[in-house]
Structure 1
Amino acid sequence: MNSGTPPVTPLQILKTYFGYDSFREGQTEIIDTILSGRDALAIMPTGAGKSLCYQVPALLLPGITLVVSPLISLMQDQVKSLNEAGIHAAYINSSLTEGQINKALSFAARGVYKIIYVAPERLETASFLSFALHTPISMVTVDEAHCISQWGQDFRPSYLKIIDFVEQLPGNPIISAFTATATEVVKNDIARILKLKNPNIVVTGFDRENLYYQVEHLTGKQKDIFIQNYIETHPNESGIIYCATRKNVDTLYEKLLKQGVSVTRYHAGMSNDIRKKSQDDFIYDRAQVVIATNAFGMGIDKSNVRFVIHYNMPQSMENYYQEAGRAGRDGEPAKCILLFSTQDVMISKLLLGSKDFEGMDFQEIDQVKRQDSRRLQLMEGYCMTTSCLRNYILEYFGETTHQSCDNCGNCHQEFEELDMTLDAKWVVGCITEMRGRYGQALVIGTLLGSKKARLKDIGATSYNCYGQLENRTEADLRLLISQMIRMGYIIQTEGEYSVLKVGNIADLQTKNIKIIVKKFKEKEKISASKKRKNPFEKDSFSASKVGSSAGTTAANSSRNSALFETLRQLRLQIAKEESVPPYIVFTDKTLIDMCEKFPQNEDEMLNVSGVGQNKLKKYGQRFLQEISSFLSTNH
């Protein structure tokens, strides 16, 4: 760390090394818990500053902090960021030679490093255990802690060995655990498996106010056109496009490449070297867009991702929340768009059917399959809901909501109401005729009078209900069935092959109940008077931010945007010189703050959010000169 009088309080650490004046929600409580010697479990959304919650106390605790992390890219990114901030840190993983590992451990034993990132598998090696037993370790931090639970979406058996390692260490080090995605079951699992002692469990909430959620119902070709148009109308914005299969990744990549998009791709079918190059191209801003399977992204700390588009529906809300959450880590507005088609459900079922259950007994496998099926149903529910998308996500993770957010695609959409009471009775009749033996696709196909051979095979073409709702669309009936499931009139079983059964229909049969289904109106522009202005239609540099009068709004906004681009180019040049990702030099949010404050000297530069002492020393003068030069020619 820097020479001179070291910072002695968490707030001084925050300002000196990280350049921030205050902590965010939950950070102070977690840091104080750790510094008091208690174990801690924090569930905080992506972008809420989890890493600071263990990095700050690590610099104040007497010994070393070990951070157990699941991915090499995550460790490398964090260590680069810490070193840029003037904090010496290291990582130990399979990307290093044994000689490099021994050298790093030797430096650590001499007190050179306060923070060491380590892969969970490394904890089991004799050499690392020997180092740990003879070196003061104050805290063991478990990052991406949901990986320890088999009920989590990224279960890693190697995480189960962490507590065995910790229990061998002298001095009872503090255990801190962090994750962005944990249901109540997973949260309890983390605390139990890590044997946390009297832990302070902090849940700051799952809401990411800067993210704008949107679902579009589109077919395959429509999805391609949507993505091409979106990228064309959002030039220079960094984004991730997730696809469910490698084939979709490759096909979409070729299409965008022919369109002239600055694009790369990432999936497990590519060699390690090519994947590494693709990832680096995206992180270092050499490629604007990356198209990837869910193998990409965990541990990617790129702060300026402005959009995440899902080409296919993910298999669970946990997966979606984590992947979509890679947008807008800097707190600036970002879009999370899910392109949904009914085929996505079938793709997800096929992928879940090939899931690896190694190490689980039959009972556990059955439990996981049922849970996977339930998660898939709830994910489909998100795609089908006409209610507030943000509220759907929050309620899934156990947060009570009271009003719509007015900041998602559904809240900015117009609807029409359909009276589908009679249709509902035909649905019940169809399920009854089928004796509850078939799934949603066959029920809908029967009601629409589909000519599919499968319906003839099961005798559905002779049912009384066959073709009775041929005037409806498949989308209409999916909306109706989804609503009837929520109302309890239909039960959808869990498991690999879910079927529809009749639920409690007494009210539907005996009372004057109406089933009103809200349906999206056909796509059309909604006038500004009917919705709040979408944050993505605003200029990032609004007059309200820089104190402009109404008459000078356009001029200042244009000038600030031009300065931002100038500083962005300087950042890119420095990043190339330093061989680090641009956002590690300064985030977009820091550049925007510079464009609003126009710092003229070092003291004023230190008042810019994200500028600490070390970065001021390394880069401050170059940015001050660029700002001064820009202002002199654009006064």
Structure 2
Amino acid sequence: MISPQAILKDTFGYDEFRPGQLKIIEDVLDNKRTLGIMPTGGGKSVCYQIPALMLSGLTLVVSPLISLMKDQVDSLNEMNIPSTFINSTLNYREANERMRYIESGAVKLLYVAPERIENDDFYNWLSHLPIDLIAIDEAHVLSSWGHDFRPSYLNVIGPLNSLPTHPNILALTATATNRVQDDLTDILGIADENVIKTGFERNNLALKIERGVNKPRYVLEYVQSHVNESGIIYAGKRKDVEKIYEDLKEHGIKVGKYHAGLDDEERHQMQEDFLFDEIDVMVATNAFGMGINKTNVRFVIHYSLPGTIESYYQEVGRAGRDGLAAEAVLLYSPGDLRLHRFFIEQSEADEEYKQSLTEKLREMNQYAKTDMCLMNYILKYFGEVKTTPCGRCSNCLDERPVVDVTSDAQKVLSCVVRMNQKYGRSTVAKVLKGTASFANGWREFGKLSTFGLMHDQTLKFIEEFIDYLTANDFLQTTNGQYPLLRLTSRGLKTIKGELKVNRHETNITKINRPIVADGQFDEDLFERLRKLRLDLAHAQDVPPFVIFSDRSLKDMSQIMPKNSQEFLSVNGVGHAKLERYGDKFIHEIKEYQK
């Protein structure tokens, strides 16, 4: 039997597996139920696509991302891997034709939405197919502790477990806290030793937070300084999407928009234009992007604060999927919290789920205020400990002067202790401020030695400073509707004078740093190859990245292959793409060299 390594090179055009991929593939081939947790862009799909080619029967891919299915199927068919999908975008006749084609045994991978499996007739049809493997993509939506819980997704697990061929199951996700991971292993019957986590760090992604900037001006200047680069701008409200879109369009930017207020046809056209590089920048609500497999997105800007770290990291993960340098910028304003709190309060979800969303929002807000390495903060949230700073994020590169705030920190921490760690941020802040209405009463806060200890500061400053101490692990909050402040081990050391607290000054604007360069390649040749790729994409009605990623084109622009053997050394070029496109691209390179 051909090895996974040989398939990786000959079919997919890659020399080496990414971390975790081979271990997952081997466990799947050993018929072990497996959970793979890998960052966005970490190569999750290869983990079931290679086994699909090695197993005799059919691989069923269950995914909630209908928009992604066509792109993935197009990409697989480009590599001569027979694949198809059945979802709500097909009419009855088209679905029937595909079902007959699948019955013939010609297909190796079938993509379906979970709702389709709930249909009794479709499930009965599935039951007669030789299914060897089920890949459950975006598996985090199975967990009520996840950020995108879909109760209906749980309904398909029983039927899938009951298929007569007893297929193996591989679950994959990019965003799973330890709590979500435990939930998934219980739901899917996966042993702890078969959970493969590759780490959540994205080494090519530079995270950045801008606080207190003029958002419209910042966005315009940023986009103008990243001309001809593909990017996504996320905004929380439709009116913000429209405003940013009109502003960029007025300044000559090739821009699109995407939100639920547009009709289906307009949304579809905007998405197609973005995928085909007809527009450079997409301004959208978070309805856009799920399942968008565009590999050459160079930046993601969050115009407003996302509701959870999981959704934030998933959205910024849409930048740099080709492995080249990319940047993610969060424009932070405290007012963004109000919109999220309103949505949570108006939600029809039960109180436990609302509380879960409130806790996640609080953690997202702490991330926006921390001084620690941003990548390390995210890794800590997902249960991964890393002590070495990333060296790429805005906190690591912050050039503002550092000031010693140990004295103020000790005042806050001491107050928390003297209040027996039984109160929340707002109450502690008012005691430190010395708010008159808090002096007397049954709690007798006025008798505390810390009452009014920070009377010369505004209440807003004190509350934000408490947030800072919480975000940087000197304080922690309890769960529940009314979170209480508690000291951490770092906070205790600070009170004892064993640890100093340093903070960047808050009144100096940081410099907008450019994205890290991708290395040496011929930019003129790269643009010429992009043009050829776009022409081929239009002719075949597939997005350009399905033919070759930007990384492949930059590799060509550096190597400048002159023959088939050299063309095979390009990242992402396997035998199928050599046969299909090699002559055209080699000819273009030779013409350029003349």
Match for residue 581 of structure 1 among 520, 543, 557: 543
The 2-side partners of 1:135 and 1:65 are apart by: 10
Match for residue 59 of structure 2 among 65, 79, 98: 65
Q: Does 1:381 align with 2:366?
A: yes
Give 1:407's aligned residue. 392
Alpha carbons 1:432, 1:502 under 8 Å: kept: no
Match for residue 479 of structure 1 among 458, 465, 474: 465
- Look up the SS of the partner of 2:515 in the other structure: helix
* Deviation readout 1:389-437 (Å, 9 max, x if unpaired): 111111111111122121211111134214363586379779999x988
Match for residue 568 of structure 1 among 512, 526, 530: 530
Give 1:627's aligned residue. 589
Against the structure 1 CA distance between its residues 218 and 524, is the aligned structure 2 distance closer, same or farther, given a 3 Å change threshold? closer
Deviation at 1:608, TM superposition (A): 1.0
Give 1:245's aligned residue. 237
Give 2:347's aligned residue. 355
| Alignment: residue pair count | 583
Give 1:516's aligned residue. 501
Alpha carbons 1:66, 1:141 under 8 Å: kept: yes
Q: Does 1:314 align with 2:300?
A: no
Q: Does 1:46 align with 2:40?
A: yes
* Deviation readout 1:199-249 (Å, 9 max, x if unpaired): 721111101100001111025xx1111111110000011011111222222
Deviates more, 1:275-284 or 1:87-96: 275-284
The 1-side partners of 2:393 and 2:269 are apart by: 35
Alpha carbons 2:84, 2:111 under 8 Å: kept: yes
The 2-side partners of 1:616 and 1:487 are apart by: 52
Q: Does 1:536 align with 2:515?
A: yes
Match for residue 134 of structure 2 among 137, 140, 144: 140
Give 1:103's aligned residue. 97
The 2-side partners of 1:316 and 1:585 are apart by: 34
Give RMSD over aligned pairs.
3.3
The 2-side partners of 1:268 and 1:384 are apart by: 31
Alpha carbons 1:41, 1:199 under 8 Å: kept: no
* Deviation readout 1:256-313 (Å, 9 max, x if unpaired): 2222211111122222222211211111111111111111111111100000111111
Match for residue 405 of structure 2 among 419, 428, 433: 419
**Equivalence map 1:106-255=2 (5 Å):** 106-196=100-190, 200-219=194-213, 222-255=214-247
Give 1:618's aligned residue. 580
TM-score by length of 1: 0.84
Against the structure 1 CA distance between its residues 484 and 307, is the aligned structure 2 distance closer, same or farther, given a 3 Å change threshold? closer
The 2-side partners of 1:79 and 1:502 are apart by: 51
Where structure 1 has 5 or more consecutive residues not aligned to the other structure, the ranges are 1-6, 358-364, 528-533, 543-556
**Equivalence map 1:433-448=2 (5 Å):** 440=426, 443=429, 447=433
TM-score by length of 2: 0.89
Give 1:598's aligned residue. 560
Alpha carbons 1:19, 1:609 under 8 Å: kept: yes
The 1-side partners of 2:106 and 2:580 are apart by: 21
Give 1:330's aligned residue. 322
* Deviation readout 1:584-633 (Å, 9 max, x if unpaired): 1100010011011110112211111111222222221111111001111x
Give 1:296's aligned residue. 288
Alpha carbons 2:78, 2:576 under 8 Å: kept: yes
Give 1:553's aligned residue. none
Alpha carbons 2:231, 2:281 under 8 Å: kept: yes
- Counterpart residue identity of residue 400, structure 1: V
Q: Does 1:284 align with 2:270?
A: no
Deviation at 1:514, TM superposition (A): 8.2
The 2-side partners of 1:291 and 1:617 are apart by: 38
The 1-side partners of 2:230 and 2:494 are apart by: 54
Where structure 2 has 5 or more consecutive residues not aligned to the other structure, the ranges are none
**Equivalence map 1:450-529=2 (5 Å):** 469=455, 474=460, 478-483=464-469, 492=477, 494-495=479-480, 498=482, 516-520=501-505, 522-523=507-508
The 2-side partners of 1:30 and 1:315 are apart by: 31
- Look up the SS of the partner of 2:155 in the other structure: helix
The 1-side partners of 2:485 and 2:20 are apart by: 45
Against the structure 1 CA distance between its residues 509 and 89, is the aligned structure 2 distance closer, same or farther, given a 3 Å change threshold? closer
